[in-house]
Structure 1
Amino acid sequence: MNNLVLKEKQEFMGIQIPVLEGGFGEGQKVILVKTIAEIHELELRIVNELINNNIDEFEIGIDILDLKNSIVTNDSLLQLGFNKQSISNSKNIYLLSEQGYMALVGLMRTDKAKEIRRKLRREYFAMRTEIKSNNFDISELSTELQMFNKMLQAVAKSELEQKKIKQQLNEVNHHALEAKEKADKSIEEIQAMREVVATNTTNWREDCRKTIVKIAHKLGGNSHIHDVQTEVYSLMRTRLKCKLDVKLTNMRRRMAEEGICKSKRDKKNYLDVIEDDVRLKEGYIAIVKDLAFKHGVA
């Protein structure tokens, strides 16, 4: 810890307080909690309790130091205005940096604390206006305004860091959502492929019809259903060496010979021809499956 140096007294909020330097770095102005209690007209124990109850609001070594539990000697504490009894009875003897004091003022709910916050806000924004319009030396500001200026800089830095963290979290969430959507899509595709593979000769007409509709939707919509069906029949002619049109004509002729009416004969189609031939049925199912895999039906 840097040595504490007791400087001359100066006015702060209408009262004379000792000016201390050191503890947090060379030339850094600091203030004892004992002095803060006097400024805010509070008992020292109340201020200490406020700090202890909110100790996570202060960064040790940056905002606050405990002189009682450090290498500071009793002689040094005596020079700072403590007596032997108060040193002995005190559990903590806190020293705050400028930004530590402003953090403490932010926690206080006393009229004096509100007065200080209002005063510093008014003077700070007046000071900012002056700085913008003139070349202004910050070191010429009052102790209160220098404290407030540093506090706002710290708050601004903290806010920017929080925004950065929030942005990073949003990006992580976005990537996680994209990954989930891709995973869900993959699951749907796998399930669809299973359904295609599971197509058998039992419900082959309905299963193949659904698959052909899905392929058509992949190609742009229901208007492509006829194109897909035509491709299936074309592949059957190539692979299975079958002429469905000839077989359909023969089927209708036999039906006529059996005395079946023309309206029923006209309703017959290629699927009815395929139904009567196990080899054609299995070939038709295989071709529909191949097209489903080709077009990535999901």
Structure 2
Amino acid sequence: MNNLVIMKDQQAVTSSLQVAENFEKSHKHVLEAIDNKIQSAENSADYKKMFCEGTYQDTRGRNQKMYYMNRDGFTFIAMGFTGAKADTFKLKYIEAFNQLEEEHKQHQIDTEELSPELKMFNQIFKSVANQELENKKLNHKVDNIAEIVSLNTTDWRKTSQSIIRKIALAQGGYGAYKEVASDAYAETDRRAGANLKIRLTNLKKNRLANGMSRSKVDKTNRLDVIDGDKRLKEIYMSVVKDFAIKNKVWENEY
């Protein structure tokens, strides 16, 4: 939650991806809400000052549209989100905006009155400070990626499916979950030289033959196939990690 709001072009902003994830909304619907405001005939010019279009890469490496929004833009988008949980996130965003803007103000100084020597030292200081901030940002990303890198055979299902949900949010919302999961299975097939669909059919037949009830057999899925093969499990987890890193689900800013 530390980077709900970031500095971009000297302005505190958040992203449509962040809003979609934290409020559990479809990214596609958040984009549509912003597009409708920008394209509206009335107040269109004002809305354009609140939103800045950007891009991010999905799991297939394709550039997808997203928006950065300042405090006013966030207010317009989030005002329709209701409920106790939504209110909690609104307060966190407001706090994040206030904190970042205050920190930014404290770093602003009038350098016009400085002597040439102090101006030179000021530039050196800014360079060193910016490098330190970049290092902190990198360290933060490394901390966030720890969840992905530590993905192992312990509770691997829960962790991998959680990451796939995050990838789906980045691609457009929870509706993209099946597509991302399908892509992960297909890539696992490719890397392993296997066919999870055929293996699933065979596993169901074996379970029926061994006396498992039809209702339980019907719930058998490809994760059960993967769970029974150490090599497949390692390959599948590697695929999920690669998808997550490629889609930058470990970043708090996009």
TM-score of the superposition, structure 2-length normalised?
0.45
**Rg larger in 1 or in 2?**
1
TM-score of the superposition, structure 1-length normalised?
0.39
